[in-house]
């Protein structure tokens, strides 16, 4: 049986994590050595080393030729699975944590711990955008800024939701507004005439923020590009409170466009905030 001193050893904790696949297999059912070797894809010598340490720690026992978790082993297996899951999310959240550190309102990074993180690292470059669109389909209101790193590829769908009644307020950059107005004039006019769209402009934005009815999303680009790398969303109350404070900080500096078109853009750009 392991002592408290053993569990305080970093080396032992690392060994446990290395052997966590074995613990996870035994969470499902009991196995003999041959079956464990086949399940894990390891040699008999390797499986022996793994089971020997876990037996010494009191995590597993051998009964009638089959290995099974002890009660403490079941706790360890749960702890290892939870750690790997939470550590994985923490690593995926790293770009988000880095992006929000200079936001005008501070936030404890632990507030993002339960976030759903969608990134491009699993072979699908469109998965962050797909997650954003899924949330767009479920909300009746949207307050967002720097949405251009998310929206252009699915502009028609977002514009359709606005025309159908999604109350939308967007804070963006002048150069992005011009690109959208020049590229999609009819859609801009239709969205503006619906009465459900308000567009405001500022000179600089730190990351993409979207406040839906029930969730908050943050988008981060690839370095030096406008390609969405990570989209993290959460329903944590602390994040929602922070998001509104950040949004209102930029909203206080933004200038509203009178119509989402060339004339409205020109009027904004002629104001002292942008013409100086």
Question: What's the Cα-to-Cα distance from 39 to each of 20, 21, 26, 32, 36, rounded to whole Å?
Answer: 13, 9, 10, 11, 5
In the prediction, which pLDDT does 19 show?
A: 87
What are the pLDDT digits (tens) for 57-77? 889 899 999 999 999 889 989
- Of residues 65 and 221, the one with the higher pLDDT is 65
In the prediction, which pLDDT does 152 show?
A: 58
* Mean pLDDT calculated for residue range 205-221: 92
The residues with which 16 forms a beta bridge, in sequence order, are none
In the prediction, which pLDDT does 268 show?
A: 80
In the prediction, which pLDDT does 130 show?
A: 87
In the prediction, which pLDDT does 91 show?
A: 81
Read off φ and ψ for residue 120, nearest 5 degrees.
-95, 10
What are the pLDDT digits (tens) for 100-155? 988 999 998 888 888 999 987 666 778 888 899 999 999 999 999 987 655 556 78
* Mean pLDDT calculated for residue range 179-201: 88
Q: Round the average pLDDT of the chain to a whole number and report it.
A: 86
In the prediction, which pLDDT does 151 show?
A: 56
Confidence of residue 204 (pLDDT cuts 50, 70, 90): confident
In the prediction, which pLDDT does 128 show?
A: 87
Domain ranges of the chain: 4-80, 102-275
User: Closest Cα to residue 186, out of 147, 160, 153, 149?
Assistant: 160
d(CA 59, CA 77): 9
Please give the CATH number for the structural domain made up of 102-275: 3.30.870.10
H-helix segments, the chain: 4-7, 10-18, 20-28, 33-40, 44-56, 71-100, 127-138, 155-163, 174-183, 185-193, 237-251, 262-269, 272-275
Query: H or E stretch including 68?
Result: strand 66-69
What are the pLDDT digits (tens) for 12-28? 788 888 888 999 999 99
d(CA 227, CA 151): 11
In the prediction, which pLDDT does 121 show?
A: 67
Please give the CATH number for the structural domain made up of 4-80: 1.10.10.10
Identical fold for domains 4-80 and 102-275, yes or no, is: no
In the prediction, which pLDDT does 85 show?
A: 77
Through-space distance between the first and last CA atoms of the chain, rounded to whole angstroms: 74
d(CA 30, CA 65): 10
In the prediction, which pLDDT does 3 show?
A: 47
pLDDT at 168 over 80: yes
In the prediction, which pLDDT does 217 show?
A: 95
């Amino acid at each position: 049986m392991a002592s408290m001193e053993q569990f305080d050893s970093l080396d032992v904790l690392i060994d446990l994590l290395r052997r966590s696949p074995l613990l996870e297999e035994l969470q499902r059912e009991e196995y003999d050595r041959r079956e464990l070797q086949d399940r894990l894809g390891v040699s008999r010598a390797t499986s022996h080393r793994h089971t020997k340490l876990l037996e010494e720690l009191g995590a597993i026992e051998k009964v009638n030729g089959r290995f099974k978790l002890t009660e403490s082993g079941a706790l360890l297996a749960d702890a290892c699975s939870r750690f790997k899951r939470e550590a994985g999310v923490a690593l995926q959240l790293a770009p988000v944590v880095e992006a929000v550190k200079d936001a005008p309102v501070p936030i404890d990074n632990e507030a993002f711990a339960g976030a759903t993180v969608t990134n491009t690292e699993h072979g699908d470059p469109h998965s962050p955008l797909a997650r954003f669109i899924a949330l767009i389909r479920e909300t009746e209101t949207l307050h967002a800024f720097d949405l251009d790193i998310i929206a252009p590829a699915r502009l028609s769908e977002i514009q359709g939701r606005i025309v159908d009644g999604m109350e939308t307020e967007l804070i963006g950059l002048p150069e992005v507004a011009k690109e959208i107005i020049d590229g999609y004039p009819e859609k801009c006019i239709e969205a503006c005439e619906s009465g459900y769209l308000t567009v405001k402009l500022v000179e600089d934005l730190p990351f993409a923020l979207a406040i839906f009815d029930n969730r908050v999303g943050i988008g981060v680009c690839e370095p030096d590009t406008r390609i969405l790398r990570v989209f993290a969303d959460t329903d944590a109350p602390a994040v929602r409170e922070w998001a509104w404070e950040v949004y209102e900080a930029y909203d206080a500096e933004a200038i509203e466009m009178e119509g989402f078109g060339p004339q409205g853009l020109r009027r904004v750009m002629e104001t002292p905030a942008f013409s100086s």
